[in-house]
Amino acid sequence: MRSITGVLAATLLFVSTIQPTRADGDPARGESVFKRCTACHAATIQNRVGPGLAGVIGRPAGSVVGYKYSPALAASGLTWDEATLDRFLEAPTRLVPGTRMTIALPKADDRQDVIAYLMTLASTLAAP
């Protein structure tokens, strides 16, 4: 019985340390956090200082027509998915040295929620 209790306690400890997946983010909170980003990015396809982010999930980095990307981002070969966005938003210049985006979202919860919000923009664009 003692070994089962020990295994159960170890399992619970391990499970409690696992980070939630980005799909578990709160899109409504993410929209609120995204307001920090709107000085440069729009939630639509319209460009500002940075490219529009509607439909960003699944899009190759540096591919919005009419926006001039830094050579570093244009040549990065990245495709924006949940994991890549998380790494980029955590430390843009670490993932893509030479990118013009220098603002980061260091808190995992903020990134998770913003990515969940961006995912809603992708599905909205795909709807007829």
Which pLDDT value is given to residue 65? 83
pLDDT value of position 19: 39
| Burial class of residue 93 in the structure, from the number of CB atoms within 10 Å of its CB (0-12 exposed, 13-18 middle, 19+ buried) | middle
Per-residue pLDDT of the chain (128 residues; tens, 9 = 90+): 444 444 333 433 333 333 334 458 999 999 999 999 999 998 887 767 888 899 999 999 999 888 899 999 999 999 999 999 999 999 999 999 999 999 999 999 999 999 999 999 875 554 44
Q: In the prediction, which pLDDT does 21 show?
A: 42
Taking the CA atoms of residue 117, residue 100, residue 39 and residue 122 in that order, the dihedral angle to the nearest 10 degrees is -20
**Residue-level pLDDT at 123:** 55
Q: Does domain 22-126 have CATH number 3.90.1150.10?
A: no
Q: Given the structure tokens 């170890």, which residue do they identify?
A: 10
Structure tokens at 71: 């050579």
The pLDDT assigned to 79 comes to 97
